[in-house]
Structure 1
Amino acid sequence: MANLSKGSLAALVALVVGALCLLLETTLPWLVSYPTAWTVPATDWVGTSMEWVLLLIKPTARVFSALMAYPMEAANWVLGSSPWILVICSVAALAWLLGGLPMTLMVIVGLGFVVASGYWHKGMNTLSLVAVSVPLALFVGGAIGVLANECPRIRKPVQALLDVMQTVPTFAYLAPLLVLFGFGPVVGLIASAIYAAPPMARNVLLGLERVESEIKEAAIMAGGTRLQQLFQVEIPSAATQIMVGVNQSLMAALSMVIIASIIGGFDDIGWEVLLTMRKVWFGPSLMAGMVIVIFAVIIDRMSATLAQDNRRFYDARVAWGILFFGIVASVLFSSSLPDPSGYAMFEDMAVSLDKGLSAFTIANGDWLAALKNNAMFYGLLPLRIGLDQAVLPFTWGFQWTPQMSFWLFAFGAVLGLVLALRGQVAWGVMALIFIGMLETGITNLPWPFVLVGAAALSWVASGRGLAVLSVVLLSTILVSGLWAPAMLSLYLSGAAVFACIVLGGGIGLLCSVFPIAWKIVRPVCDMLQTIPMFVFLIPVLMVFQIGEFSAFLAIILYAIVPIIRYSQHGLTETPDEMIEAATASGATTWQILRDVRAPYAAPTILLGLNQTILYAFAMLVITALVGTTGLGQLIYKSIGQADVGLGISAGAAMAILALIADRMVQGFAEERRKVLGL
């Protein structure tokens, strides 16, 4: 044991615990299935406690809600009443200042599509929500970031709170918001502001922490007060990083518009997408979704320009000319132009798309069904319930037998022994564990094995503290009776993350080897990154209808971008001196990639994996709308029933899974950075 590495020892402990649980399954069934009698009514306790707290602050919340209705109505009136020509020219003028002709053309073409689609007024209702929620989020997030910077004692608690806010699914806090603020557009506004505040807080804190000490010392020597130092020196010095926070907050608020429509009942684009999807009108749903994508792309490009260090502003006279043209055109032509809601130039296209899609699915129904069924029967289903339950005459054409299990484990034992003899003990044990998990299925794993396995991984990644925290947090899910839906969520998100690693890592590798491939893939990644998460459901539902496979594909589409970006970036940023040394020693291109670039890129790739995991958990709750089970379904159910306890408990369970995964990956990334001396 003394010669075993930390990873080998952790893997062996997990293997022994898992083997004992399976061997004792018949005599001690509680080792595999946690008894219902041992659970506590945590959901009811949380609901009762929260109802008492919410009742206390409800009057204040309702007053705040009434006050926020005024700026909401004002923004809605300004954007809705202004002639569309004036709005387009105003945005185009700002686009010229920030990005010149290319950005101006993007704005004109994009907003022109919105006008022509007939969704102008609904689009303006959506933007009015963003226009009010974002300043609120920027103010709250900025204040939190400044406070955490000024009070070092609360910095860690604030960062922990931001981590929790980042990992708690957006749906989870909709039920308490409904109780506090009632039903209507304002509650959607507040939900958007809550979701958009953490990115601003993080970037303000990060920007202030990165202000160079020489700049701070110069401000002190100049005799400025602390407020003068902060607002006249440090915040301007951190402006670039703070603008990154503004960009992320804008995108976060826009991504919430459809979710906000669920509880807001607002006649905006989010409600239009939700309504058309429920009616299975995929053509109109796609058109409405394109409006959100256009808004997202325009807002992202314009705000991202402000976050650049080398930004420059174009000729202001041209911008004033565009704005003047908009004012003149509004005065001369706005009364003679019909209401933009009546344009609907793409209505026939939407109908044709619906008909074409129906014809396509009917004509190709066999191979589409085969693709979905093969993915389910040979991939997702065995991963969920194990080979011994998934391999049936109906699915694989034969019945799984105990003899097959014996030979599968025998193969795993031989593979593990071979790897151990080659000095890779940890990988050998993990291979055997993986085969055991494949035979059993993630949702059927014994709960002691999951607890010990999570503790072992946490211990290897970040030490005893994270191991204890993981066991404690997972135990709260266990005793609260949410273990089964949590394992379902873990299975689906884990399968999607694995697919993202294989596909995204492969694409990132390809782009690092062939720069021309990155020129093609990069704009696709940019587009995917600006699309609000709800919109990803539309194309998969159009082809594969409601079901687990559609949810699986939607999660991949949303979560794959970080692993592609970080893999490509990590593999191409290896220092030149390391490449030159490897080349001088006679290494081939493949050897350089495997032995130099990949190890150096590991921390960066792990950071991308971390983001992919968080994206997968975030999207998992959205996919509850298309019929998936697990914690996401419970959270969605809590909104319909206004069950605060269920929503918070299920949301907390989802956050726990995401938080543990986040801390583990960060731990492994930090370890790799230390090994590389970074």
Structure 2
Amino acid sequence: MRVGGSTGRRPGAGTIAALVVLATGALCMALVPHLPWLGQFPDAWTLPMSAWIDTWLTWFLNLIKPGARLLSAALAYPMGWTKALLLHTPWPLLVALVTALGWYVGGMRLALLGFAGFSFVVASGYWVESMNTLSLVAVSVPLALLLGGATGILANEVPRVKSSVQTVMDVMQTVPTFAYLTPLLLLFGFGPVVGLIASAIYAAPPMARNVMLGLERIETDIKEAAIMSGGNRMQQLFLIEIPSAATQIMVGVNQSLMAALSMVIIAAVIGGFNDIGWEVLLTMRKAQFGDALLAGLVIVAFAIVIDRNSAGMARQQARHSRRITLAIIAVGAFVAVLAWLYLPAAGQLKLLVPVADWVDGRLTVFVRANGAALDSIKNTAMFYGLLPLRIGLDGAVLPFTWGFQWTGWMSAALLAASAAIGGVIAFQGRVAAGLLVPILAGMVETGIAELPWPFVLIGAGAVGWVAGGRRLALFAVLMLAAVLLSGLWEKALWSLYLSGAAVLTCAILGGAIGLICALSPLAWRVVQPVCDMLQTIPLFVFLIPVLMFFQIGEFSAFLAIILYAIVPMIRYTRHGLVSTPPDLIEAAVSSGATTWQTMREVRAPYAAPTILLGLNQTILYAFAMLVIAALIGTTGLGQSIFVALGQADVGLGITSGAAMAILALVADRLVQGFAAERRRALGL
């Protein structure tokens, strides 16, 4: 399906879609002053979905609450045992065990990483809090692996449920993590068990996906050999197929571990548990950013050590000497005896606390000395970028912000200029691109959060039709209509604005960095470890650096989203550009094309599907971080989820989480549609 202009005299799909959207926008702009309901959906037309869901779910959850509380009490035992084991294990022995595991899995490099990481935790003074967090992870991950593994095997063995399982996992991936906590809080009560169960639920889908993928990729001759061996289906599955898929399954273990660690930190918001996540939240609320940064770095140390060791286990490679592994453990046990006799407990070793205090003091001095510059950066971004995107030039251009007042004549001039520019582009044969110019100008003049709802619905349907046909168009319209009827439309548009602004910034900045890394191997060697580190940091931690310099507010949320969501754009852009087949590049070079001509005419078109997949991941990351950013003062659907969490309002929490998931799913399907279209165009 063509996205561009027309073929001959017959207009293409992109042209027709752009004409429909432009006509809808013009009608809305003309009629909204006379028909206000076109601009703001009347409350009388909405459905009390939150109340309905709250009534039904409260009844259902109260019905199963006795069983849930029994499960909660049962899970408290292994969690208590694990916590006691970790807290009473001498810290030198635990550091030695992690170091020995690193040596056995990856040699000296991983051994030093494990030693440095856990030594940092000891020196931080947060050993007790860290072991409490680790105990939650240690109990939740086996539950997640069991649940995810069983789900993946079920989907592989019963093809009829496979599509349903994939749909459920897609929804779980897009529903904000905090939305899980509201019903779980009602079921299991306040405390660490909620974090444990939420962590297990959140960490199960990566395991299920990788089990399914691993079993699907088993070579046909291996399956035939299993059948020829004469074993029954269970023997074939557990003795041959699952061991053959072990590498992919271990990737699922790695992803589940990281997801569980991230969710345990998030669950600290309601757990009130003396863990490292609660310490981060508490110090941030007190504006003790030195301590918050130290606690956040403890989480980063855990994440990096766990990630590297579990990733090393997933790789098929020779393990290192068991004798040295046992020797490291023996040294740790010897030091543990000395520590028991002479050294203080790990919780009393606060070697880095003075460093945190120094950072806090230096930060205070820096902010006081450069407060005007920091405020200038924030205000410039808000007044000249974010605010116009949110409420439009008509509302954002004021004497206080821009030095003059936006008038109706300016709106008319802007639209006329955009129409003229679009006409020139259309005259050159790119009709759809020319029509997009006045559409975008109208959106900037109005503001994303102020767009008329018919324009948004028809616009989403038009984009869906171009990307994937009628089915995708209908999906986009019906999903957004559900948000409209729920009464959360205004908050949804606000969330769409902030995540859209962050994604646009990530696309421009991340695409540029990816391009530079594709052209320069040296640049990629510098950028790659930064990307690796950013991908292992739990969501919570991204709030700390932006709060340190820009305090609570919308701009800080915007920066936090960018920090988290930019990595996929960098990676996929660079990967797509360096993966161009050599014969295509040789043909371009032999024809006399320069490096930039080859990049623009050959590499970029071939890399487009991969870059679009990176954009898709960036969108999902942005929506995931948007909810976490609600902790630092943003509004929108994220704020509704937190309000529901504080009031134990299951209906509002589920409805707001579902609305957020709908926005992410629609964006995901639209980008995937364009990526599939580009793959078809390239014959891939």
User: Shorter-chain-normalised TM-score: which range?
Assistant: over 0.9
Matched with 1:33 is: 40
Matched with 2:623 is: 617
Q: How does 1:234-245 map to 2 (within 5 A)?
A: 234-245=241-252
Distance in 2 of aligned mates of 1:18 and 1:613: 25
Does 2:257 correspond to 1:257?
A: no
**1:229-263 per-position Cα deviation (integer Å, ceiling 9, x unaligned):** 11122111211111111111111111112211112
Does 2:441 correspond to 1:435?
A: yes
2:350 maps to which of 344, 352, 357: 344
**1:49-76 per-position Cα deviation (integer Å, ceiling 9, x unaligned):** 1101111111111111111111101110
Distance in 1 of aligned mates of 2:19 and 2:214: 43
Does 2:670 correspond to 1:664?
A: yes
Contact 2:92 2:339 survives alignment (8 Å) = no
**1:398-455 per-position Cα deviation (integer Å, ceiling 9, x unaligned):** 0101111111111111111111111111111112111110000001101000000111
Distance in 2 of aligned mates of 1:106 and 1:488: 42
1:78 maps to which of 77, 80, 85: 85
Distance in 2 of aligned mates of 1:627 and 1:388: 25
TM-fit CA distance, 1:117: 1.1
Matched with 1:564 is: 570
Contact 2:461 2:473 survives alignment (8 Å) = yes
Letter in 2 for 1:72: M
TM-fit CA distance, 1:32: 1.2
Matched with 1:94 is: 101
Matched with 1:554 is: 560
Matched with 1:137 is: 144
Does 2:452 correspond to 1:467?
A: no
2:308 maps to which of 271, 277, 301: 301
Matched with 2:579 is: 573
Does 2:421 correspond to 1:415?
A: yes
Contact 1:296 1:530 survives alignment (8 Å) = yes
Distance in 1 of aligned mates of 2:510 and 2:358: 33
* Percent of paired sites with the same residue: 65
2:500 maps to which of 485, 494, 507: 494
Q: How does 1:34-49 map to 2 (within 5 A)?
A: 34-49=41-56
TM-fit CA distance, 1:587: 1.1
Distance in 2 of aligned mates of 1:220 and 1:156: 26
TM-fit CA distance, 1:8: 1.4
Distance in 2 of aligned mates of 1:434 and 1:307: 47
Matched with 2:406 is: 400
Equivalent pairs counted in the alignment come to 677
Does 2:274 correspond to 1:273?
A: no
Distance in 2 of aligned mates of 1:671 and 1:677: 10
TM-fit CA distance, 1:667: 1.1
TM-fit CA distance, 1:312: 2.2
Does 2:11 correspond to 1:9?
A: no
Return 5+ residue gaps in structure 2 as ranges: 1-5
Letter in 2 for 1:548: E
**1:464-484 per-position Cα deviation (integer Å, ceiling 9, x unaligned):** 112111111111111111000
Distance in 1 of aligned mates of 2:385 and 2:370: 22
TM-fit CA distance, 1:24: 0.8
Letter in 1 for 2:427: L
Matched with 1:638 is: 644
Of 326-335 and 634-643, the range deviating more from structure 2: 326-335
Letter in 2 for 1:471: V
Matched with 1:195 is: 202
Of 488-497 and 114-123, the range deviating more from structure 2: 114-123
Distance in 2 of aligned mates of 1:427 and 1:217: 53
Q: How does 1:585-604 map to 2 (within 5 A)?
A: 585-604=591-610
Does 2:292 correspond to 1:247?
A: no
Distance in 2 of aligned mates of 1:484 and 1:472: 17
Return 5+ residue gaps in structure 1 as ranges: none
Distance in 1 of aligned mates of 2:323 and 2:355: 39
TM-score using structure 2 length: 0.98
Distance in 2 of aligned mates of 1:415 and 1:207: 52
2:536 maps to which of 530, 540, 549: 530
Distance in 2 of aligned mates of 1:581 and 1:305: 40
Partner of 1:280: helix, strand, or coil?
A: coil
Matched with 1:453 is: 459
Of 323-332 and 379-388, the range deviating more from structure 2: 323-332
Partner of 1:249: helix, strand, or coil?
A: helix
Matched with 1:127 is: 134
**1:500-534 per-position Cα deviation (integer Å, ceiling 9, x unaligned):** 00110000000001110000000000111111011
Contact 2:24 2:454 survives alignment (8 Å) = yes
Of 12-21 and 293-302, the range deviating more from structure 2: 12-21
Of 339-348 and 520-529, the range deviating more from structure 2: 339-348
Distance in 2 of aligned mates of 1:548 and 1:675: 40
Letter in 2 for 1:304: A
Distance in 2 of aligned mates of 1:85 and 1:16: 71
Distance in 2 of aligned mates of 1:532 and 1:360: 27
TM-fit CA distance, 1:334: 2.0
Does 2:179 correspond to 1:183?
A: no
**1:338-395 per-position Cα deviation (integer Å, ceiling 9, x unaligned):** 1211111111111111111111111001111010000000000000000011000000
CA RMSD of aligned residues (A): 1.0
**1:158-214 per-position Cα deviation (integer Å, ceiling 9, x unaligned):** 100000000000011211001000111111100111111111111111111111222
**1:77-98 per-position Cα deviation (integer Å, ceiling 9, x unaligned):** 1111000001011111110011
Matched with 2:221 is: 214
Distance in 2 of aligned mates of 1:237 and 1:452: 49
TM-fit CA distance, 1:333: 3.3
TM-fit CA distance, 1:278: 0.7
TM-fit CA distance, 1:492: 0.3
2:168 maps to which of 158, 161, 164: 161
Contact 1:485 1:629 survives alignment (8 Å) = yes
Distance in 1 of aligned mates of 2:152 and 2:51: 35
Distance in 1 of aligned mates of 2:246 and 2:588: 40
Distance in 2 of aligned mates of 1:579 and 1:660: 36
Letter in 1 for 2:368: I
Distance in 2 of aligned mates of 1:121 and 1:276: 16
TM-score using structure 1 length: 0.99
Matched with 2:112 is: 105
Distance in 2 of aligned mates of 1:239 and 1:10: 47
Distance in 2 of aligned mates of 1:379 and 1:551: 14
Contact 1:258 1:274 survives alignment (8 Å) = no
Matched with 1:372 is: 378
Does 2:391 correspond to 1:385?
A: yes
Does 2:590 correspond to 1:584?
A: yes
Contact 2:457 2:480 survives alignment (8 Å) = yes
Runs of 4+ in 1 over 4 A off after TM superposition: none
Contact 1:562 1:611 survives alignment (8 Å) = yes
Does 2:329 correspond to 1:323?
A: yes
Matched with 1:150 is: 157
Matched with 2:3 is: none
Letter in 1 for 2:204: A
**1:526-552 per-position Cα deviation (integer Å, ceiling 9, x unaligned):** 111111011000000000000000000
Distance in 1 of aligned mates of 2:420 and 2:206: 49
Partner of 1:256: helix, strand, or coil?
A: helix
2:179 maps to which of 172, 176, 185: 172
Partner of 1:165: helix, strand, or coil?
A: helix
Of 324-333 and 599-608, the range deviating more from structure 2: 324-333
Distance in 1 of aligned mates of 2:361 and 2:322: 48
TM-fit CA distance, 1:331: 2.7
Partner of 1:314: helix, strand, or coil?
A: coil
TM-fit CA distance, 1:286: 0.4
